[in-house]
């Protein structure tokens, strides 16, 4: 993670074991409050800051800056000297992209990496108090993105690479003024010294010993969407069988992957492919995507915020992230928005079912999940 200024709420990732029910409950309560809060804000936003719902769900209609205008934006970005980036992406990969960006432009990148529900709470507070910190917010939960769009918090990206042939705007430049900069793809990881054999598909994790499986807490709509995909793909009884094995609960995929590598877990169900980096260095870990190229993914949707303290630097960094180099660094071993990036997976972004991810539906699923995995 890139070091940030003291105003930023630097994200922390906390693994949650079966005995940490108090922390788990707080996280679930927080996520419930977030979806309710954004739903309420969407209906009460002032007229001069609200965009029509139809515009929020459509593809972006913005235009790139002219060469002369973009040159001025780059110059202004260098004067601003910094940009604050709120994201759910892998912090190590974003740190690599941020370091390269600084070497190119001399602009510091403050990274606040956290889960969707926490970032939504922070941005909502900043917007409501007119004390902005974030310049760019990346969310993997479409309902949160639509809430921000409806509230008028987002401006168009105007960087040239967002309008290049390599970036398919029909696929990725949406919804509204937001745009996709990659996809999260999560899979199964297992400790090769703790679990004998190989995982070919998600049901194979049920072969792991009780108490040695990791599961993700459904703290945001994007993670609820993963669970819905699991039920659609493997049957509704799969979660019941999984819960019976008393798995350990984690708030993020990254500490779950670390727990697999350390031997704390035999198997993780929601782990990023970057664990293969550690495998190449000798770590006793292996990885596989369930259903291969048809696996679930969560689009990382970027929003340049209207109240951004560093608006030009925000435009420049957002544009850099969709360049070939930016994608190779920030989306390595993950889902990319360009077909010319090596060591990444070009996948069609999943269309999340908004009805199934409505605030009331998300809350109901979280409560039932908590009862099942208590």
Interior angle at CA 292, CA 288 and CA 293, nearest 5: 135
Q: Is the same domain home to 178 and 196?
A: no
Residue 44 has pLDDT above 60, yes or no: no
Q: Is residue 137 part of a domain?
A: yes
Q: Which of 299, 334, 305, 333 is nearest to 317 (CA)?
A: 305
Q: Is residue 368 part of a domain?
A: no
Residue 215 has pLDDT above 60, yes or no: yes
Q: Is residue 370 part of a domain?
A: no
Residue 10 has pLDDT above 50, yes or no: no
CA 26 from chain centre, in angstroms, equals: 20
**Residue 34's pLDDT is what?**
52
**Residue 292's pLDDT is what?**
82
Q: 282-293 pLDDT, tens per residue?
A: 999 999 999 987
Q: Is the same domain home to 122 and 195?
A: no
Q: Is 182 exposed, middle or buried (0-12, 13-18, 19+ CB in 10 A)?
A: buried
Residue 18 has pLDDT above 50, yes or no: no
Q: What is the mean pLDDT of the chain?
A: 87
Q: What CA–CA distance (Å, rounded) separates 331 from 189?
A: 19
Q: Is residue 91 part of a domain?
A: yes
Tokens of 151: 């509230």
Q: Which residue has the tokens 């005995």?
A: 19
Q: Is residue 21 part of a domain?
A: no
Confidence of residue 36 (pLDDT cuts 50, 70, 90): very low
- Cβ atoms 205, 269 nearer than 8 A: yes
Least confident piece of the model among 10-19, 173-182, 257-266:
10-19
Beta bridge partners of residue 216, listed in sequence order: 250
Residue 239 has pLDDT above 60, yes or no: yes
Q: Is residue 107 part of a domain?
A: yes
Residue 317 has pLDDT above 80, yes or no: yes
Q: Is the same domain home to 309 and 279?
A: no
| Mean pLDDT, range 25-35, rounded to an integer | 48
Confidence of residue 222 (pLDDT cuts 50, 70, 90): very high
Residue 35 has pLDDT above 60, yes or no: no
Q: Is the same domain home to 147 and 200?
A: no
CA distances from 256 to 9, 17, 28, 212, 251 (A): 22, 10, 18, 11, 8
Residue 5 has pLDDT above 50, yes or no: no
Q: Is residue 332 part of a domain?
A: yes
**Residue 294's pLDDT is what?**
86
Q: Is the same domain home to 140 and 279?
A: no
Length of the chain, in residues: 374
Confidence of residue 231 (pLDDT cuts 50, 70, 90): very high
| Mean pLDDT, range 242-252, rounded to an integer | 97
Q: Is the same domain home to 176 and 209?
A: no
Q: Is residue 254 part of a domain?
A: yes
Provide the 10 A C-beta neighbour count for residue 92: 14
Residue 187 has pLDDT above 80, yes or no: yes
CA distances from 368 to 72, 363, 373 (A): 52, 9, 9
Q: 338-374 pLDDT, tens per residue?
A: 999 999 999 889 999 999 999 999 999 999 999 999 9
Omega cis (within 30) before 175: yes
Which domain, by its residues, includes 311? 45-183+300-343
- What's the domain count of the chain? 2
**Residue 60's pLDDT is what?**
54
Q: Is the same domain home to 313 and 165?
A: yes
Q: Is the same domain home to 205 and 274?
A: yes
Provide the 10 A C-beta neighbour count for residue 346: 16
Least confident piece of the model among 187-191, 274-278, 328-332:
274-278
Beta bridge partners of residue 188, listed in sequence order: 288
| CATH label of the domain that carries residue 280 | 3.40.190.10
Least confident piece of the model among 51-55, 84-88, 173-177, 293-297:
51-55
Q: Is the same domain home to 202 and 278?
A: yes
Tokens of 6: 């003291």
Residue 24 has pLDDT above 80, yes or no: no
Q: Is the same domain home to 127 and 70?
A: yes
Q: What CA–CA distance (Å, rounded) separates 219 from 202?
A: 21
Question: Which of 228, 263, 296 marks a domain boundary?
Answer: 296
The model's pTM is 0.80
**Residue 14's pLDDT is what?**
29
Q: Is the same domain home to 168 and 218?
A: no
Q: Is the same domain home to 314 and 258?
A: no
User: How many Å is the Cα radius of gyration of the chain?
Assistant: 20
**Residue 13's pLDDT is what?**
34
**Residue 290's pLDDT is what?**
95
| Mean pLDDT, range 115-139, rounded to an integer | 96
CB within 8 Å of 240: residues ≥ 6 apart: 372
């Amino acid at each position: 993670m890139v070091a940030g200024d003291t105003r930023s709420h630097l994200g922390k990732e906390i693994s949650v074991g079966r005995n940490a029910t108090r922390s788990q409950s707080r996280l679930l309560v927080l996520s419930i409050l977030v979806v309710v809060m954004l739903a309420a804000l969407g209906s009460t936003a002032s007229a001069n800051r609200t965009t029509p719902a139809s515009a929020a769900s459509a593809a972006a209609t913005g235009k790139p800056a002219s060469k002369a205008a973009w040159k001025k934006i780059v110059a202004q970005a260098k004067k601003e000297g910094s940009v604050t980036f709120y994201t759910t992406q892998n912090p190590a990969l974003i740190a690599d992209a941020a370091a390269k960006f600084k070497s190119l432009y001399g602009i510091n990148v403050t990274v606040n990496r956290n889960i969707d529900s926490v970032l939504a709470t922070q941005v909502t507070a900043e917007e409501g108090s007119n004390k902005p910190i974030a310049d760019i917010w990346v969310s993997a939960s479409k309902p949160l993105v639509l809430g921000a769009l409806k509230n008028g918090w987002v401006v168009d990206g105007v960087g040239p690479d967002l309008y290049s042939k390599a970036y398919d705007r029909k696929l990725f430049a949406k919804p509204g003024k937001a745009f996709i900069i990659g996809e999260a793809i999560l899979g199964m990881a297992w400790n090769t010294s703790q679990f004998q054999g190989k995982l070919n598909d998600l049901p194979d994790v049920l072969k792991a010993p009780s108490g040695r499986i990791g599961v993700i807490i459904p703290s945001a709509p994007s993670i609820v969407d993963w669970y819905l995909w699991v039920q659609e793909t493997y049957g509704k009884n799969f979660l019941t069988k999984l819960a019976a094995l008393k798995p350990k609960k984690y708030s993020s995929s990254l500490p779950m992957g670390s727990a697999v590598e350390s031997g704390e877990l035999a198997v993780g169900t929601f782990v990023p492919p970057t664990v293969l980096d550690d495998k190449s260095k000798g770590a006793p870990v292996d990885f596989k995507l369930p259903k291969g190229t048809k696996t679930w993914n969560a689009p990382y949707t970027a929003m340049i915020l209207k109240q951004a303290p560093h608006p030009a630097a925000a435009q420049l960094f957002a544009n850099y992230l969709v360049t070939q180099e930016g994608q190779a660094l920030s989306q390595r071993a993950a889902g990319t928005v360009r077909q010319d990036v090596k060591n990444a997976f070009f996948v069609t972004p999943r269309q999340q079912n908004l009805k199934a991810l409505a605030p009331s539906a998300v809350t109901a699923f979280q409560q039932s999940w908590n009862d099942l995995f208590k």
